Structure 1
């Protein structure tokens, strides 16, 4: 089971890792060589909060100055971009079979209704299957490399439909749901 995270993007990447056909490089230097082969050095350096010359030095095997924070960031970058075609194919197969995507989250929510906005102070633990339409939107947004805030809005709509508003009659006005405080999230598919 993947470790819990508060980033929706990273949680999707960890769930995608179960569909990999081969494992990514294991050492930080090998991972950086792969990342430098697939991304421009300036963009990668910005994402890892280092200078491009430092990346080149680390990729050559001189790991002085590589701290645990950088190792975690390198690991996230590998998960983010490893085997994109395999990831896309797995998502298409999941969606072709009614989009069975399960989300487990621990979060606080707020609701916007015609009468105003209401914060729910309870920390809820929810495990729910997402509606196929929302699973498709989530995957499409992930492939478009959207921000975590946009993914959070898509997920809030999905959880709202699947968990909070499923018993309301179709003609009744529904509230808009917002994830106000996300403590952990995991996807299973």
Structure 2
């Protein structure tokens, strides 16, 4: 059974996979050959926690020493880099035609207001459509390959506006939301 996804970047990549026009390679050696055409062995080696010469050996078909964790990292790299133009077109179509980006998360939250910061100890299951502006910021940040912290901040702002603070009176709209403990994240669009 796969572990629950807690990476916002990977959750976006998994949602993008629904828009691919062709499936990526399945075998680790074929995946590595594709990834090595995209970047240098030394840059890829840092992301896969391996030596560059080991990557070239694996790409040639000699998979001795390939751990399941490294195979998972290779799969994530494929999901991250596969069909970038298809991904951009799909994102643009979603945003241009009023499509919604639904986030489903299981997390704990912290609230910052004028009177201080409050941590909610409850683990909440939230399913909410992100406002279009926040969906655009999330897609733009993903295209820039932004860090998960930045993606988390954008997602928290969108969830806060759409779910937590939508009923607040205008004088309390200065509240901010942070995701303090993320257990699961999925996107649907």
Deviation of 1:174 after TM superposition, in Å, equals: 3.1
Which range moved further: 168-177 or 93-102? 168-177
Deviation at 1:115, TM superposition (A): 1.3
Instruction: Quote the residue 1:177 is aligned against.
Output: 177
CA distance in 1, matches of 2:175, 2:55: 47
Equivalenced residues, count:
188
5+ residue gaps in structure 2?
A: none
Shift of 1:4: 4.0
Distance 1:154 1:99 in 2: 18
Q: Please state whether the residue corresponding to 2:22 is helix, strand or coil.
A: coil
1:31 is aligned to 31
Q: Is the 8 A contact 1:99 1:135 kept in 2?
A: no
Distance of 1:106 and 1:98 partners within structure 2: 26
TM-score normalised by L of structure 1: 0.97
- The 1:173/1:93 distance shift into structure 2, 3 A limit, reads closer
Aligned-partner SS, 1:180: strand
**1:151 corresponds to which residue?**
151
How far 1:97 moved relative to its partner?
1.5
Q: Which residue of 2 aligns with 1:22?
A: 22
Does structure 1 conserve the Cα–Cα contact (< 8 Å) formed by 2:110 and 2:178? yes
**Using the alignment, how far apart are the partners of 2:26 and 2:173 within structure 1?**
52
Q: Distance in 2 between matches of 1:59 and 1:140?
A: 32
Residue 98 (structure 2) pairs with residue 98 (structure 1):
yes
Q: Distance in 1 between matches of 2:171 and 2:123?
A: 29
| Structure 2 residue 6 is the aligned partner of structure 1 residue 13 | no
Tell me, in whole angstroms, the C-alpha distance in 2 between the residues paired with 1:4 and 1:101.
20
* Contact 1:4–1:186 (CA under 8 A) maintained in structure 2: no
SS at match of 2:65: coil
Matched, 1:167 2:164: no
| In 2, Cα distance between equivalents of 1:147 and 1:94 | 23
Secondary structure of the corresponding residue to residue 172 of structure 2: coil
Q: Deviations over 1:101-154 (max 9, x none)?
A: 000000000011111111100000000000000000000000011000000000
